[in-house]
Amino acid sequence: MESMLDMFLFETNTLLEQLEEIMLESEKEKSFSTDSINEIFRIMHTIKGSSAMMEFDSLAKLAHRIEDLFFIFRENNCVESFSEELRTELFNLMFRSNDFMRSQTEKIENNEVLSDNIDQFITDINTFIEKMKGNPVETVEPIVETPISDLKPKDINTDLPESDAAYLIQIFFDDGCGMEHLRAFMIKTAVKEVIGEDFTCIPADIEENSETCNYIIDHGFFLCIQKEEFVEKVVQVLKEALNVASFEVILNPNVKKATIKTEKIEETEVKEEILQNTSSGDNAQKAGSKAPNHQTQTKQSIISVNLSKLDSLMAIVGEIVITESMVTASPELKGLKLDNFTKSARQLRKLTDELQDITMSIRMIPVSGVFNKMNRIVRDMCQKTNKDVRLTIIGENTELDKTIVDSINDPLMHIVRNAMDHGIEEDVQDRINLGKDTQGEIILEAQHTGSDVIITITDDGTGVDTTKVLAKAKKNGLLTKPESEYSKREILNLLLAPGFSTNEVVTEYSGRGVGMDVVKQNIEKVGGVISISSELGEGTCISLKIPLTMAIVDGMDVAVGNSIFTIPITHIRQSFKVSKEDVILDSMGNEIVERMGNFYPIVRLHNLYNISTQVVDVEDGIFVWVESSDKSYCLFVDDLIGKQQVVVKPLPAYLNSFNIKDAGIAGCTILGDGNISIILDILNLHAASMYAF
């Protein structure tokens, strides 16, 4: 049942995302194309069927009613005749319905009670249909069923499965509906309630064997029935079944004598068509009959995999990488010339790297799913703020680790809302006076840069008034030094401080002082860095530098006494040696060192972690200049060991009670020689050196 629920949630969420994309595109075009209407009809039909199968009645009922609405559109081609007001009402109704269905799936994911109050949606849809009566709408003629006695025999079907039953009912499901074996099982259960156990199925193991899906897609699902009086009862069940595209009752030509009341059958084997029906809720769906001989189905080449399995695979690959390093870097092999071993080790390294790359690529997904959601944010805020803004998306096919993509959804949403609310001018005349286009623009762009992805959110709005920011920061007591000493970059970074907001009026979207600090925290949780640049009157750009994956990182190993630490390469600006004269004390007695015209605090790792070492003089050790977000300082270490890719491993759970995170430790890794290296958390390390932990 749990696997069925996972499949349902995955399928439904995917379909709702497709629905929203179609709606946004159609709203831009100010109408629905024939393809869009057909696609929305298919989406609603699938959601209706799968929701009913899972007994989520509110979802099924709403999807059913929307399906009815688009059935009318499809059969009468009446959308083009809608007034502007009616089209706007339709789009708003569909967006609200989509939001409701999304909220229902979220409740299912969180194991919450679903809302069964869909009366308002049903009423709104019915009201909309009533308003359509003012438009010319042709009446849809119902499909007329042919009486059994009037049907004529057809050619023999030589592809029928072997069965001793007098009647075979061949059933085909909707194209692409998925989980055909489970849908067949639901029909089997419904038929059993009507006629008992007096029938068989082909294939028989539909409940346990998911591979029967392919057979059902290619040949159909067969109910084998012996008694004539049961046939009509089963037909009634199939008429009411969901996702049944067509079914056909066939007189089994392999049975010499059938106990039925019919005209004399010629000695030649005859297949007699009794009934063919297509259903779509209360309205008949005009779908063509699927004859087995003419079925062409494309086999699926994509499968969905539980993320936990990929996590396990990644962990195993990490162990392989570590084991390979331990073998090839074994101290016992030093000084030995083993040509065959060296050749094999080189090949092993190549294969290990390929395995690692493939495993990481499996976890990679495009950011398009998250980026496209921002279209809806801009659309809704345009309506509520009466601003004319377009969203331009660039590089949506850029890929990131699935976990990271999920983590950046909320930060991006908040940044885009800020750009709409704070950035784009309220008055169009202000834009005209500055020589700008009357329509504002927000650009959402992603691009690869080495082992990172840079995501930028740029608006062409008012920009940030640094004077106003500095004054508000002073009022809130956020300044730590005289105003004159703040650089423009430092002033802009104040926007990321908790509780900071320049809005005097609290709105639905801003003014509460909550948001950008949370955005910063979420980005830093995935190892990313956020930065802000802005020009007054020209606009603002927020840049997110995010690692491709959190599982494997490029690191620089450094030695401190007998301990080894790993510093992520992305945080290193420079390594250098100094003389005693280069290091001075600030007013608080803390060591600082000058680099490129600025002074930076020094963090001695041996002091921070109480490590015994002979290297304490600044001239004997090495400084590593590191940077994370708005923190920039220099680490003092004994020596640099070298750069290598390391597998990030979490620290044992029993260490959580020691506030390891606050000590500037992000995790650990196992080196090739079997030693453990501590991975430093550059963001929190400086704070750890300032306070006891």
Kindly report the CATH number assigned to the domain that includes residue 317. Answer: 1.10.287.560
Say yes or no: 539 and 558 in one domain: no
Say yes or no: 163 and 269 in one domain: yes
| Angle (CA) 76 77 82, round 5° | 110
Say yes or no: 312 and 237 in one domain: no
Which residues, listed in sequence order, are joined to residue 448 by a DSSP beta bridge?
Answer: 453
* 339 phi, psi to nearest 5 deg: -60, -45
pLDDT reported for residue 597: 84
303 lies in a domain? no
Say yes or no: 608 and 625 in one domain: yes
Mean pLDDT score, 72-100: 84
Tokens (6 digits) for 592: 């600082």
Closest CA to 187 of 172, 177, 175, 176: 172
- Sequence-distant (6+) residues with CB within 8 A of 369 are 17, 405
Percent of the residues in the chain that have a pLDDT greater than 90, as a whole number: 21
Structure confidence at residue 22 as a pLDDT band (50, 70, 90): very high
pLDDT tens-digit map of 646-689: 778 777 767 766 767 678 888 888 776 778 889 998 877 877 77
Query: Of 132, 160, 194, which one is at a domain's C-terminal end?
Result: 132
**Using CA atoms, how far apart are residues 232 and 145, in angstroms rounded to an integer?**
13
Say yes or no: 561 and 541 in one domain: no
92 lies in a domain? yes
295 lies in a domain? no
Decide: 642 and 592 in contact? Cβ < 8 Å. no
Closest CA to 455 of 518, 407, 517: 407
Lowest mean pLDDT among 34-43, 128-137, 266-275, 660-669: 266-275
pLDDT reported for residue 394: 95
pLDDT reported for residue 542: 93
pLDDT tens-digit map of 587-615: 888 899 998 888 999 999 999 999 999 99
529 lies in a domain? yes
- Whole domain around residue 214: which residue ranges? 148-280
Structure confidence at residue 623 as a pLDDT band (50, 70, 90): very high
298 lies in a domain? no
pLDDT reported for residue 443: 96
pLDDT reported for residue 267: 33
Say yes or no: 375 and 501 in one domain: yes
382 lies in a domain? yes
**Using CA atoms, how far apart are residues 47 and 15, in angstroms rounded to an integer?**
8
Higher pLDDT, 460 or 85: 460
Say yes or no: 383 and 357 in one domain: no
Which strand (E) or helix (H) includes residue 37?
A: helix 34-53
Decide: 567 and 554 in contact? Cβ < 8 Å. no
Question: CATH no. for residue 531?
Answer: 3.30.565.10
Mean pLDDT, all residues of the chain: 80
State the DSSP code for 285. Answer: -
**Using CA atoms, how far apart are residues 453 and 548, in angstroms rounded to an integer?**
6
Lowest mean pLDDT among 43-47, 350-354, 448-452, 630-634: 448-452
Say yes or no: 116 and 243 in one domain: no
Say yes or no: 177 and 276 in one domain: yes
What is the rounded end-to-end Cα distance, in angstroms, of the chain?
A: 47
Strand 598-604 versus strand 221-225 pairing type: unpaired
| Domain count across the chain | 5
Q: Is the pLDDT of residue 10 over 60?
A: yes
Say yes or no: 337 and 385 in one domain: no
pLDDT reported for residue 136: 44
* 343 phi, psi to nearest 5 deg: -65, -45
Question: CATH no. for residue 46?
Answer: 1.20.120.160
Say yes or no: 89 and 173 in one domain: no
Mean pLDDT score, 428-453: 89
110 lies in a domain? yes
Query: Of 496, 514, 547, which one is at a domain's C-terminal end?
Result: 547
**Using CA atoms, how far apart are residues 663 and 474, in angstroms rounded to an integer?**
30
Helix axes 119-132, 57-76, angle to 10 degrees: 10
Decide: 394 and 456 in contact? Cβ < 8 Å. no
Say yes or no: 597 and 510 in one domain: no
Structure confidence at residue 3 as a pLDDT band (50, 70, 90): low
Closest CA to 475 of 467, 485, 487: 467
458 lies in a domain? yes
Q: Is the pLDDT of residue 520 over 80?
A: yes
Query: Of 496, 525, 547, which one is at a domain's C-terminal end?
Result: 547
